[in-house]
Amino acid sequence: MSDEETDKEIIEEKKEEADGVLREPQEPQDGAQEPQEETVVSEPVEEQKEETDASKPIEEQAEAVPAKGKKSRTKKEKKPLNPKKLRFSFSDGFDHLQSNLPALIITCICAVLLMIIACCAVFFTNIKGAEKVLVPNVVGKKWDEAFIEMQIKELYPKINLRYSNVPGDEGLVLEQNPQPGAIVKGYSRVNLVISRGVVIDSVGSYVGKNLSEVQMSLQTLFAGQTKPLITLATPTYIPDASEAGTILEQDPPEGSKISEPVTVNLVVSRGPNYENTRRPYVIGQSINDLLQTIARTKIVFDITSHTATEGEKPGTVVSQQTIEDEYVPNYTRVTVEMAMPEDSNDDNAYGIFQEKLPDYPYPVPMKLEAFPSEGTSYTIVSFNHPGGNLTIPYEVPRGTTLVLSVADKVEARKLIE
Q: What is the pLDDT of residues 190-201, one digit of tens each?
A: 999 998 877 777
Rounded to whole angstroms, what are the CA distances from 283 to 36, 122, 139, 299, 391? 185, 103, 73, 15, 17
Cβ(214)–Cβ(232) below 8 Å: yes
Q: What percent of the chain has pLDDT over 70?
A: 76
The confidence band for 381, taking pLDDT boundaries of 50, 70 and 90, is: very high
Using the predicted structure, report yes or no on whether residue 46 has a pLDDT greater than 50.
Answer: no
If one compares 79 and 25, the residue with the highest pLDDT of the two is: 79
Mean of per-residue pLDDT scores for the chain:
80
Beta partners for residue 388, in sequence order: 357
CA angle (408 as vertex; 406, 410 as ends), nearest 5: 60
pLDDT at 384: 92
Rounded to whole angstroms, the Cα distance separating 376 from 254 reads 57
Rounded to whole angstroms, the Cα distance separating 214 from 266 reads 11
Across 63-72, 90-99, 149-158, 362-371, least confident range: 63-72
Using the predicted structure, report yes or no on whether residue 267 has a pLDDT greater than 90.
Answer: yes
If one compares 42 and 364, the residue with the highest pLDDT of the two is: 364
DSSP letters for 212-268: HHHHHHHHHHTTT-SS-SEEEPPPEEE--SSPTTBEEEEES-TT-B-SS-EEEEEEE
Rounded to whole angstroms, the Cα distance separating 282 from 289 reads 8
Arithmetic mean of pLDDT, 198-227: 84
pLDDT at 122: 84
pLDDT at 160: 92
If one compares 150 and 29, the residue with the highest pLDDT of the two is: 150
Map out the domains of the chain with their CATH numbers: 132-198 (3.30.10.20), 211-269 (3.30.10), 276-415 (2.60.40.2560)
The confidence band for 20, taking pLDDT boundaries of 50, 70 and 90, is: low
**Which tens digit of pLDDT belongs to each residue from 268-317?**
987 776 678 888 899 999 999 999 999 999 999 999 999 989 889 999 99
Determine the 3-state secondary structure of 184 from DSSP.
Answer: strand
If one compares 34 and 171, the residue with the highest pLDDT of the two is: 171
The confidence band for 95, taking pLDDT boundaries of 50, 70 and 90, is: confident
Asked, as a colleague might, if the bond just before 252 is cis with ω within 30 of 0, I would say yes
pLDDT at 86: 52
Considering only CA atoms, which of 194, 197, 147 is closest in space to residue 170? 197
Considering only CA atoms, which of 415, 414, 363 is closest in space to residue 388? 363
Using the predicted structure, report yes or no on whether residue 74 has a pLDDT greater than 90.
Answer: no
pLDDT at 12: 72
Rounded to whole angstroms, what are the CA distances from 336 to 284, 327, 381, 390? 11, 18, 18, 13
Beta partners for residue 384, in sequence order: 365
- Pairing outcome for strands 276-278 and 236-238: unpaired
Rounded to whole angstroms, what are the CA distances from 56 to 53, 66, 228, 405? 5, 15, 121, 148
Arithmetic mean of pLDDT, 100-107: 82
The confidence band for 222, taking pLDDT boundaries of 50, 70 and 90, is: confident
DSSP letters for 293-310: HHHHSSEEEEEEEEE--T
Using the predicted structure, report yes or no on whether residue 385 has a pLDDT greater than 70.
Answer: yes
The confidence band for 18, taking pLDDT boundaries of 50, 70 and 90, is: low
